[in-house]
């Protein structure tokens, strides 16, 4: 029998199901290992981030404590200082409020005394283009003693004259810029009897100077206005005239205008005095200087049985580079008694040096008018001399 050779045993291939299970286990193992590595890396990164943030926090905390934050004691001191300042400011505001209340009360009282208590002033004294000296009467308006109200009074007294300049010039027919012709001169003193209950004496003077505007203004101020305002007298001149001049409230006036003066004039040996207020207004081609006496000033509380207020306007207009018109108007109000009543006609005439008691009633006004015109001659002559000296100086400067 033939010999049969045995074949080597063949390797057995695992069943397909077993290979798939091993592959899944291996994949799962690798996947888990990948996740563990990712988590480990994340933990490492988070720990590093935590470490960095803690370091940054420490750095910021150290800097804040050393540079920005204050100790509680310093904060307490600062808050106390702020509270103290707030309290001081509150008291200051309360004081200011009280001052304003007092000012309002004083001004109301002043207005009432000037208008409501004096019916002649209550309706006719409001500014209008048709004012005349008969209606434009400040004879019974006082300058009050209250400091803040007084400052308003200075301003009001001068502003009301200034803003009625053209109306008064028109009323008393002084030449205008359009009608002035060189040589042109107006000079007279007359009685305004348009209101018989309140007579006023009017002085007019106007002329055209051959000279530049600025030179004319300066020279007229030096030769006349400074003496009318009593600010141009030297000590020697005052001594010769036996007169004293004291400047009143210079700081208050300076806060209103640098071109303003208020003086008290007294004759030596006389306790009573006269107060005079002046102010200058300037534009490019015009200068207006207004002045007035202030017979009713509460600061000086002068007890006078009679008082008479005067008002003045000096108006300069540039006509050309070499021509200047000057107009001057003086208004002397009717005298007022200590009780605020206007003096009766005969007594007022007597104060002007004219006794009309023996004249017929119908002639008394004419007699006083003639007397006023006559006594004006001396004053006009003095003004002519002063203005002639101004023109002479202007002529010399042109040579």
Q: Is residue 49 part of a domain?
A: no
What letter would DSSP give residue 143?
A: B
Claim: this prediction has a pTM higher than 0.85: no
Q: Which of 176-185, 322-331, 379-388 has the lowest mean pLDDT?
A: 176-185
Average model confidence (pLDDT) for the chain?
85
> CB of 222 within 8 A of CB of 214?
no
Number of domains forming the structure of the chain: 1
Q: Is residue 143 part of a domain?
A: yes
Q: Is residue 83 part of a domain?
A: no
Q: Is residue 238 part of a domain?
A: yes
Q: Is residue 66 part of a domain?
A: no
> CB of 322 within 8 A of CB of 395?
no
Q: What integer pLDDT is reported at residue 98 of this predicted model?
A: 83
Kindly indicate the confidence band of residue 265, based on its pLDDT and cuts at 50, 70 and 90: very high
> CB of 339 within 8 A of CB of 314?
no
Residues in the chain: 399
Q: What is the mean pLDDT of residues 346-366?
A: 91
Q: What is the mean pLDDT of residues 369-395?
A: 93
Give percent above pLDDT 90 in the chain. 46
Q: What integer pLDDT is reported at residue 65 of this predicted model?
A: 56
Kindly indicate the confidence band of residue 144, based on its pLDDT and cuts at 50, 70 and 90: confident
* Nearest in space to 217 (alpha carbons), one of 322, 320, 315: 315
Question: Residue 331 belongs to what H/E stretch?
Answer: strand 323-332
Q: Is residue 75 part of a domain?
A: no
Please check the confidence at residue 314 and state whether its pLDDT lies above 60.
yes
Backbone angles phi, psi at 234, to 5 degrees: -80, 165
Q: DSSP of 208-232, one letter per residue? A: EEES-HHHHHHHHIIIIIHHHTT-S
Starting at the edge strand found earlier in the chain, the sheet holding 260-267 runs 185-192, 200-210, 323-332, 310-320, 286-293, 273-282, 260-267, 243-247
Q: Is residue 21 part of a domain?
A: no
Q: Helices (DSSP H) in 193-344: which residue ranges?
A: 213-220, 226-228, 235-240, 250-256
- How far apart CA 198 and CA 345 sit, in angstroms, is 9
Please check the confidence at residue 291 and state whether its pLDDT lies above 90.
yes
CB atoms within 10 A of CB 255: 13
Write the CATH number for 391: 3.30.530
Q: Is residue 268 part of a domain?
A: yes
Q: What is the mean pLDDT of residues 206-214?
A: 95
> CB of 347 within 8 A of CB of 308?
no
Structural domain that includes position 132: 127-398
Q: What integer pLDDT is reported at residue 304 of this predicted model?
A: 66
Q: What integer pLDDT is reported at residue 196 of this predicted model?
A: 77
Site of tokens 């071109």: 259
State both tokens at 76: 């307490």
Please check the confidence at residue 133 and state whether its pLDDT lies above 50.
no
Maximum Cα–Cα distance across the chain: 205
């Amino acid at each position: 029998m033939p010999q049969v050779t045995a074949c080597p045993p063949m390797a057995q291939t695992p069943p397909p199901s077993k290979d798939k299970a091993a592959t899944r286990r291996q994949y799962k193992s690798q996947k888990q290992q990948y996740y563990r590595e990712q988590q480990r890396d994340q933990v490492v990164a988070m720990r590093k981030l935590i470490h960095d943030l803690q370091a940054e926090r420490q750095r910021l905390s150290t800097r804040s404590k050393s540079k920005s934050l204050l100790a509680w004691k310093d904060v307490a001191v600062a808050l106390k200082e702020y509270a103290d300042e707030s309290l001081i400011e509150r008291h200051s505001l309360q004081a200011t409020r009280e001052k304003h209340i007092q000012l309002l009360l004083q001004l109301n009282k002043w207005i009432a005394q000037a208008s409501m208590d004096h019916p002649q002033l209550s309706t006719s004294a409001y500014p209008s283009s048709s004012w005349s000296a008969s209606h434009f009467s400040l004879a019974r308006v006082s300058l009050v003693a209250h400091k803040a109200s007084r400052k308003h009074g200075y301003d009001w007294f001068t502003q009301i004259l200034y803003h009625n300049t053209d109306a008064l010039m028109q009323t008393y027919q002084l030449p205008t810029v359009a009608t002035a012709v060189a040589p042109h001169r107006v000079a007279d003193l007359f009685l305004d009897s348009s209101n018989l209950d309140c007579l006023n004496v009017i002085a007019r003077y106007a002329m055209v100077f051959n000279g530049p505007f600025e030179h004319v203004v300066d020279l007229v101020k030096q030769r006349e206005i400074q003496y009318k305002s009593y600010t141009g007298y030297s000590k020697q001149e005052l001594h010769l005239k036996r007169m004293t001049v004291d400047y009143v409230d210079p700081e208050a006036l300076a806060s209103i205008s640098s071109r303003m003066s208020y003086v008290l004039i007294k004759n030596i040996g006389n306790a009573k005095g006269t107060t005079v207020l002046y102010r200058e207004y300037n534009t490019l081609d015009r200068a207006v200087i207004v002045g007035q006496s202030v017979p009713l000033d509460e600061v000086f509380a002068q007890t006078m049985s009679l008082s008479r207020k005067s008002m003045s306007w000096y108006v300069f207009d540039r006509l050309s580079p070499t021509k200047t018109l000057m107009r001057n108007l003086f208004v002397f109000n009717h005298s007022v008694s200590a009780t605020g009543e206007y003096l009766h006609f005969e007594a007022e005439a007597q104060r002007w040096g004219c006794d009309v008691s023996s004249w017929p009633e119908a002639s008394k006004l004419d007699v006083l008018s003639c007397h006023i015109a006559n006594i004006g001659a001396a004053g006009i002559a003095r003004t002519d001399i002063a203005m002639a000296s101004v023109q002479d100086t202007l002529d010399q400067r042109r040579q």
